[in-house]
Amino acid sequence: MRPLVILLLLARTAAAHQTSVKYVDLAVDENRATVSVKVAPGDVTEPLGLPPDAKPAPAQATTPAVAAYVAHWIAIASYQRPCTAGAPHAAAEDAWVVVTWQVVCPAVPTELDFTAFFAVDKRHVAIVHGSHDAIVRADAPHLVLRDRPSLLAWVREGMDHIYTGRDHISFVLALLLVVMLVRRPDWQVRPPGQTLRSTATVITAFTIAHSVSLIAASLGWVHLPSRFVESMIALSIAYTAVENIARPDVPWRFYLTFGFGLVHGLGFASTLAVLLPPSGVIVPLLCFNVGVEIGQLTIVLVALPAFYAAARALGAGAYRRTLMPLISVGIFILGALWLIERALQVRILGL
């Protein structure tokens, strides 16, 4: 039961791509800066005195308490000397709440401290836009202002997107669960070389497909509603898990994986779209994609030997009847819950 328990625990912290992202606009003018933070109304239930799962309207969340609560997340300094913050105010903007305030510094602002921001939830990501574009995470909460992230930062962001994307991890695991199985006519475990070729086939299909759609969507050539894309990603996970149980040796797995990979690439692009600079997007885009592939490869290098060793130890028939369907059921449950939440926009396990 341990694989199923682990998968269910992952669901407790899984999220759609946009829910953990906060957008920060920073405009610097000599020793002054204007800061705007865009948040969902459901993220500020605490200062409103509402339950954590409440869904207040944007206008309801434009209180002074909310403004102060959000402004507390970011401290700005100038050469290690604190800046003086003015009174923040909150305003409704479509489905969002935007909190804006100004700071005056001893000299030009040089550092943003997000320690209080990550104290709320370490899974959050701060996307900073303006003259200084950056990606801030909990393991590095201090942002030294630079013109834009380095190329290595884009690679790391791609890797982080895979490692924190539990839906994408679940899909890759579902693909790897059956690559070593073959029916001749009884179920057998493929030799290592044939297993690697089978793995390379499906992973290559997934890689090519999500790379194509990621690039196309990030460059603005393709656009689909986020709700539809996220729902289709969840459907791909649930379907692949069911197919593993019903017929793990389907001849069309390459083509199906390619089709699902196109959808997953659109999911990657939904996050990347808000990170890319207004110009010169090609190199950051390619670096992000390299990071995605590195992250995906590390998952394969860990999971494939484990699944292959289990199949060899249990025997192909026993693996086919016990461990593989057990893990597939866990993956199906996650996919089905994600599909319900994303398609119907409801909360079940707080995914």
Q: Is the pLDDT of residue 208 over 50?
A: yes
* Structure tokens given for 78: 């100038």
CB 33 within 8 A of CB 105: yes
Q: Which is higher by pLDDT, 147 or 251? A: 251
What is the rounded average pLDDT for all residues in the chain? Answer: 87
pLDDT at 81: 81
Looking at the DSSP assignment, which residues form a beta bridge with residue 2? none
For 186, the 3-state DSSP assignment is: coil
Mean pLDDT of 201-225: 92
Domain spans of the chain, in order of start: 2-13+165-344, 21-148
Q: What is the DSSP string of 270-295?
A: HHHTTTS-SS--HHHHHHHHHHHHHH
Structure letter (DSSP) for residue 131:
S
User: Helices marked H in 87-218 — which ranges?
Assistant: 115-120, 151-164, 166-176, 192-218
Structure letter (DSSP) for residue 349:
S
pLDDT in tens, 136-158: 888 889 888 754 567 888 898 89
pLDDT in tens, 317-328: 999 999 999 999
* Structure tokens given for 272: 């990347």
Which residues, at least 6 apart from 36, have a Cβ–Cβ distance to it below 8 Å? 24, 25, 98, 99, 100
Quickly state the pLDDT bin for 289 (edges 50, 70, 90): very high
pLDDT at 3: 44
pLDDT in tens, 80-98: 789 999 999 999 998 899 9
Q: Is the pLDDT of residue 9 over 60?
A: no
pLDDT in tens, 222-242: 989 989 999 999 999 999 999
pLDDT at 110: 81
C-alpha distances out from residue 326 to 4, 7, 53, 64, 171, Å: 7, 11, 32, 51, 15
